[in-house]
Amino acid sequence: MNAVVVGEPVVAFDGVGMRFGRGPEILRDVSFAIEPRSFQFLTGPSGAGKTTLLRLVLAALRPTRGHIRLFGQGASRISGGALTDVRRRTGIVFQDFRLLDHLSVYQNVALPLVVRGRDEAGYRAEVIELLQWVGLGGQLDRLPPILSGGEKQRVAIARALIARPELILADEPTGNVDPHLAERLLHLFIELNRLGTSVVIATHDLALMDQVEARRLILSDGLLFVDEGAS
| Domain definitions of the chain by residue range | 6-89+166-226, 98-164
Contact present, 78 and 86 (Cβ < 8 Å): yes
68 against 46, higher pLDDT:
68
Q: Report the alpha-carbon distance of residue 202 to residue 113 in Å, rounded.
A: 26
pLDDT band with cut points at 50, 70 and 90 for residue 46: confident
Dist. CA 196–CA 18, nearest whole Å: 31
Mean pLDDT is highest, among 36-40, 93-97, 113-117, for: 36-40
The pTM is what?
0.87
Structure confidence at residue 2 as a pLDDT band (50, 70, 90): very low
**Cα distances (Å, whole numbers) of residue 128 to 121, 136, 138, 189:** 12, 9, 9, 19
Written as one string, the DSSP assignment of 143-189 is -GGGS-HHHHHHHHHHHHHTT--SEEEEESTTTTS-HHHHHHHHHHH
Mean pLDDT of 59-77: 91
Q: What is the pLDDT of residues 35-44, one digit of tens each?
A: 999 999 999 9
Cα separation, 91 vs 168, in Å, equals: 5
Per-residue pLDDT at 145 exceeds 90:
yes
Is residue 36 within 8 Å of 10, Cβ to Cβ? yes
Mean pLDDT to the nearest integer, 83-102: 89
Angle at 78 between CA 76 and CA 81, to 5 degrees: 165
Higher pLDDT, 209 or 46: 209
Chain centroid to Cα 35, Å, comes to 14
Judge: domain 6-89+166-226, CATH 3.40.190.290. Answer: no
pLDDT at 84 over 90: no
Q: How confident is the model at residue 177 (pLDDT cuts 50, 70, 90)?
A: confident
CA gap 167, 86 in Å, rounded: 10
The DSSP output letter for 141 is T
